[in-house]
Amino acid sequence: MADFDLVVIGSGPGGYVAAIRAAQLGMRVACVEKEPALGGTCLNVGCIPSKALLDSSEHYWQVRRTLAAHGVKVSGVDLDLPTMMARKDRVVRGLTQGVAGLFKKNKIESVRGTGRIAAPGRVAVGDRTLETARILIATGSEPTPLRGLAFDGERIVSSTEALALPRVPERLLVTGAGAVGLELGSVWSRLGAQVTVVEFMDEIVPTMDRGMGTQLRRALERQGISFRLETSATHAERTPNGVRVTLEGKGQRTEEDADVVLVAIGRRPYLAGLGAAEIGVGLDERGRVKVNERYETTVPGVFAIGDAIPGPMLAHKAQEEGIAAVELMAGVAGHVNYDAVPSVVYTAPELASQTGRYYDRSREIPPSPLAADDNLARELWIRTEAIVGS
C-alpha cells in the first residue's frame, strides 16, 4: 500500500485547502512546499502583504490628505516605513504559521523541499520518495516577464520586491494597469512616490467593465497617479540613479526616467522542476496544465488546480478548486460555479467584478452568456503575447 492517499505539491491557497479537506475526508495526506513558509504566493508575496500595505498606506493618506477637510487638524505626521513593513511581515507570519498549525491539527505531513513527479504515484523530494495513490499539482504561478525589461530585483522589479522596497521611490513606473499594478501603484503613491502607470490597452483594468475602469482611472488620477494608455514599455536601461524606460504608443516613442519600474503585466503557471511534462502531463498553448471536469490531468492519478490551470488567477478560485478536486476524489459531489467568481481591485475606491466562464475555454465548458467577452479576452491575449517574452 502507498504511504499516502494524496500528495499535494504546493501549499498556496489551492494546495493547503485541498490538503486540509482531504484529511477531513479521511485521506492520509502529505503537502510538499519548496519555500520556508507555507501559504504560497497569496499569503507570502501576494494577497495578504498587499492588503496589509494598502491598509497601512490608506491610514497615512487619510491623515495627510483627507482629515483636514473633516476639520481634524493633524501636524507632525511622519512615515516610518520600516515599522509599516514590519507590521506587514507580522500579518504574513501570523497567517503562514496558522496554516502550519492547521496541518498539524489535521495530521497532514508537511514535507519541505521541491517536489518532482518521478512517475504517477511517486513524488521525489530530495533523497526521499513519497509513494501515493494520487498527486495534486498546486504549484501556482510566477510573474510574467516583459521583453526588454528583464527583472533585476532592485530597479526593475516584480510584485514580490515591490511589496518590500527599502525606501519610497521618488518616481515609480508601473507597467500593467491590472489589479496588482493598481494596488501597488496606490500603495507607493499614497506613501509619496510619483506614480505613472503604463497600459497597453486603451483603458485600465481591461478585463473588467469599461465604464467602471474609466471611473476608477479618474478617481486614481485625482489621487495623483498618472496614466499612459495605449502605450507599451519596450526597453529599459540602468542609469546611475535609476532606470530609463522607452515607451511606445499612439505613434510616439518617448523616454521616461524612474527610480523603480514595477512590471505587473500578469502571471504565468509555475511548473519548473516539477517533471510534469516529462511524465506526459498535457499543457495548453499558454503553458497551463490541462484538466478535465474532475481536475484530472492527461495522466491518470495526477490532478491539478489553482493558478497552474486555466481560469482567473485568484486565491478563492484556487481554494474552491482544491476542495472540489479532493471531494471528487473521495466520491463526494465537488463543484465550482465558475459563473460566480468575484474579482476585486483593492484600490480606493475598490472595483469589484465577476469573472466569467470565458476564461475556461480550454476546459471545453459550453458557451456562456458572457461569450460576447470572448473577443476581448482573445484580443487581449494575442496582443499581450506579442509583447511578452517567453
Ligand X SMILES: Cc1cc2nc3c(=O)[nH]c(=O)nc-3n(C[C@H](O)[C@H](O)[C@H](O)COP(=O)(O)OP(=O)(O)OC[C@H]3O[C@@H](n4cnc5c(N)ncnc54)[C@H](O)[C@@H]3O)c2cc1C
Q: Which residues bind ligand X (CB under 6 A)?
A: 9-15, 32-35, 40-42, 46-47, 50, 114-115, 138-141, 159, 180, 270, 273-274, 306-307, 313-316, 318, 346
Start-to-end C-alpha separation, the chain = 42
Nearest-approach distance from CB 53 to ligand X, in angstroms: 10
Whether the CB-CB separation of 374 and 219 falls below 8 Å is answered with no
Distance CA 101, CA 83 (A): 27
Total Cβ atoms within 10 A of residue 382: 9
Question: CA-based Rg of the chain, rounded to a whole angstrom?
Answer: 22
Q: Closest CB to ligand X among 186 and 247?
A: 186
Nearest-approach distance from CB 54 to ligand X, in angstroms: 9
Nearest-approach distance from CB 82 to ligand X, in angstroms: 20
Q: Closest CB to ligand X among 159 and 196?
A: 159
Grid cell 504608443 is found at 249
Distance CA 303, CA 123 (A): 13
Nearest-approach distance from CB 16 to ligand X, in angstroms: 8
Total Cβ atoms within 10 A of residue 39: 26
Nearest-approach distance from CB 233 to ligand X, in angstroms: 19
Q: Closest CB to ligand X among 203 and 307?
A: 307
| SS3 at position 289 | strand
Nearest to 237 by CA among 257, 220, 222, 219: 257
Distance CA 226, CA 332 (A): 50
Minimal CB distance residue for ligand X: 140
Q: Closest CB to ligand X among 247 and 289?
A: 289
Q: Closest CB to ligand X among 247 and 261?
A: 261
Whether the CB-CB separation of 271 and 289 falls below 8 Å is answered with yes
Q: Closest CB to ligand X among 8 and 247?
A: 8
Whether the CB-CB separation of 117 and 123 falls below 8 Å is answered with yes
Nearest-approach distance from CB 73 to ligand X, in angstroms: 34
